[in-house]
Amino acid sequence: MSKKNMIIGQSGGPTAVINSSLAGAIDCAFKQDKIEKVYGMINGIEGFLNENLLDLNASFENKPYMMNCLKHSPAMYLGSCRYKLGGTEDEYKQIFALLEKYNIGYFFYIGGNDSMDTVKQLSEYAAKIESDVKFVGIPKTIDNDLVGIDHSPGFGSAAKYIASCVREVAYDTSIYNIKSIHIIETMGRDAGWIAGSAALAKEGTALAPHLIYLPEVAFSTEQFIKDVNKMLDKYNSVIIVVSEGIRDKDGNYISAEGSKTDKFGHIMLSGAGEYLKSVIEEKIGCKVRALEPGVLQRSTAHIASLTDINEAFNLGEVAVKAAVNGKTGVFSTIKRTNDSPYCVEYGTEDVRVVANAVKTVPREWINEEGNYVTEEFLNYVRPLVVGIAQVPYRNGLPDYIDVRHLNSKVQKYTE
């Protein structure tokens, strides 16, 4: 049987460990007898349609330092896209013609809900035309909202970053003998996993956060003011964490500006913290600041969770082995078998389970008042932030992989 080539891409929002999954996949691919060449798509499926490809053998094969840099670098070495397949026969034919042109037998896509939908569509079309190409997804998202997996790669590092930031803000604000409020807005459009993880900051040496609000519980501005006043009666400095996706009892986003949506129909959010800041200024009148970590929570690798890095790498390996062994239309996944000591098992799951679905925080993991998380939530998240990554440094700064190729015009691939 002749060898086939492999192609891999990244899509959606970046994380601190998505390149770890890429490293795991290509490192495993180099060891497979059935795989000849490994291509990378520049800017995901959209780049593939334009034949913007990289020769990953030339960049990483037998280059352990480069592979280690890739494993510990944030964001996406191959670039991203927000391209939604149209589901048309012409588009499918174009993609499969390119797969044949480059002798691709294995297709991998690292991404979230929408990226897994791409894997689903292509694997179903392959079955329809009786193509032998294997399509496998590798999960990622800091939002931790993918179903079919215990936790998503990228979440543990985002949780660690947010908890660390909240603890440091708590230290900063505790030195003043004045009444003040700090609101920290986290990412999380439909699920409050990142916001809830801020509660880790309170374990040990800090009092904060004092209040946490998640999208899973309807937000009431009136109750919010009561909650804040109650905390101000106890503390000079109050720190509040809110998810960007908090919404009222009618399902309206507190932070939604108009009705702008992206290509996938998701409402583009911003401003929950600023809105609540204005509410406090009007109703309470004390010093208040709104802080938004923004992209830092998904691209800060120097404080990444080692557990997160290693699991992301392993999921890349699992995906490649699954495809080589004949699986298609699946994604690599993690099943937790124990909390203490923390243990997991790796496997695969049908991609239809995760495509376009959302996993939210269980209501029983949020307190009755809806303004904090429970011990069950903390038991779930604690193991995911463990471990210090050995990030390579050069001249005092993290020595991340070079991504300057993403900011210049990429030419079509030529042998």
pTM of the model: 0.93
In this structure, of 93-102, 270-279, 365-374, 384-393, the range with the lowest mean pLDDT score is: 270-279
What percent of the chain stands above pLDDT 70?
A: 93
Contact 218, 247 (CB under 8 A): yes
Specify whether 19 is located in the same domain as 106. Answer: yes
Residue 378 lies in a domain: no
> Percent of the chain beyond pLDDT 90?
80
Position 55: which residue type? D
Among the candidates 298, 318, 340, a domain finishes at 298
Residue that wins the pLDDT comparison between 316 and 410: 316
Q: How confident is the model at residue 116 (pLDDT cuts 50, 70, 90)?
A: very high
Mean pLDDT on 270-290:
90
pLDDT value at 227 more than 50: yes
Distance linking the first and last C-alpha atoms of the chain? 23
- What's the domain count of the chain? 2
Residue 368 is assigned to a structural domain of this protein: no
Query: Dihedral through CA 81, CA 54, CA 69, CA 139, nearest 10?
Result: 40
Which phi-psi region, left, alpha or beta, contains residue 109 (left: φ > 0; alpha: ψ -120 to 50)? beta
Q: Are 148 and 195 in contact (CB under 8 A)?
A: no
- Residue 20, pLDDT > 90, answer yes
DSSP 188-237: -SS--HHHHHGGGGGSSS-----EEE-TTS---HHHHHHHHHHHHHH-SE
- d(CA 77, CA 48) in angstroms, rounded, equals 15
pLDDT at 87: 85
pLDDT band at 258 (very low <50, low <70, confident <90, very high): very low
CB 208 within 8 A of CB 170: yes
Q: Which amino acid is at 11?
A: S
Together in a domain, 352 and 286: no
Q: Which residue has the higher pLDDT, 198 or 264?
A: 198
Query: What is the structure's pLDDT at 414?
Result: 60
In a domain, 143, yes or no: yes
Q: Are 105 and 133 in contact (CB under 8 A)?
A: yes
Distant-in-sequence, close-in-space partners of 240: CB < 8 Å, separation ≥ 6: 181, 182, 183, 184, 209, 210, 211, 212, 213, 228, 276
Show the tokens assigned to 267: 């409402």
Four-point Cα dihedral 92, 93, 95, 96, nearest 10: 110
Q: What is the rounded average pLDDT of the residues 12-30?
A: 96
Predicted pLDDT of residue 256: 44
Does residue 365 lie in a domain region?
no
Average pLDDT over residues 328-333: 97
Looking at the structure, tell me whether residues 183 and 89 fall in a common domain. no
Q: What phi, psi does 304 have (nearest 5°)?
A: -65, 155
Residue 294: per-residue pLDDT: 87
Regarding whether 209 and 120 lie in a shared domain, the answer is no
Angle at the Cα of 342 from the Cα atoms of 73 and 354, rounded to 5 degrees: 65
Given a cut of 50, is residue 268 above it in pLDDT? no
Cβ pair 332, 136 in contact under 8 A: yes
DSSP assignment letter at 14: -
Q: Do 136 and 270 belong together in one domain?
A: no
What is d(CA 190, CA 143) in angstroms, rounded to the nearest whole number?
8
Together in a domain, 248 and 352: no
Residue 377 lies in a domain: no
Q: Which residue has the higher pLDDT, 205 or 213?
A: 213
Same domain, 247 and 331: no
Q: Kindly tell me if the per-residue pLDDT of 160 is higher than 80.
A: yes
> Do 293 and 348 lie in a common domain?
no
Is it the case that residue 292 has pLDDT exceeding 70?
yes
Residues carrying an active site annotation? 143
Q: For residue range 77-94, what is the model confidence (pLDDT) as tens digits?
A: 999 998 888 889 999 999
How far is the C-alpha of 268 from the C-alpha of 189, rounded, in Å? 9
> Which DSSP letter does residue 130 get?
T
Stretch 397-403: mean pLDDT: 92
Give me 147's structure tokens: 């179903």
What confidence category does residue 254 fall into, taking pLDDT thresholds of 50, 70 and 90? confident
Number of H helices, E strands in the chain: 13, 15
Please give the structure tokens belonging to residue 85: 């397949």
Of residues 320, 328, 325, the one with CA closest to residue 349: 328
For residues 12 and 147, state if they share a domain: yes
Can you give the CATH number for the domain in which 223 is found?
A: 3.40.50.460
Within 10 A of 264 (CB to CB), how many other CB atoms are there?
13
pLDDT tens-digit map of 57-76 = 999 999 999 999 999 999 99
Q: Are residues 109 and 164 in the same domain?
A: no
181 shares a domain with 125: no
Confidence bin at 410 (pLDDT 50/70/90):
low
Question: Does any domain span residue 367?
Answer: no
Last residue of a domain, one of 279, 298, 317: 298
pLDDT band for 365, please (50, 70, 90 cuts): very high
pLDDT surpasses 90 at 235:
yes
Regarding whether 148 and 9 lie in a shared domain, the answer is: yes
pLDDT at 389 over 80: yes
Domain boundary among 281, 298, 315: 298
Q: What is the pLDDT of residue 259?
A: 44
**pLDDT, average across residues 108-136:** 95
Task: List phi, psi (to 5°) of 330.
Answer: -130, 170
Assess if residue 362 is contained within a domain.
no
Please report, for the domain that includes residue 343, its CATH number: 3.40.50.450
Which residue segment(s) compose the domain that 83 sits in? 4-153+301-356+387-407
Range in 39-53, 248-262, 335-349 with the lowest mean pLDDT? 248-262
Phi first, then psi: give them for residue 153, nearest 5 degrees.
-55, 135
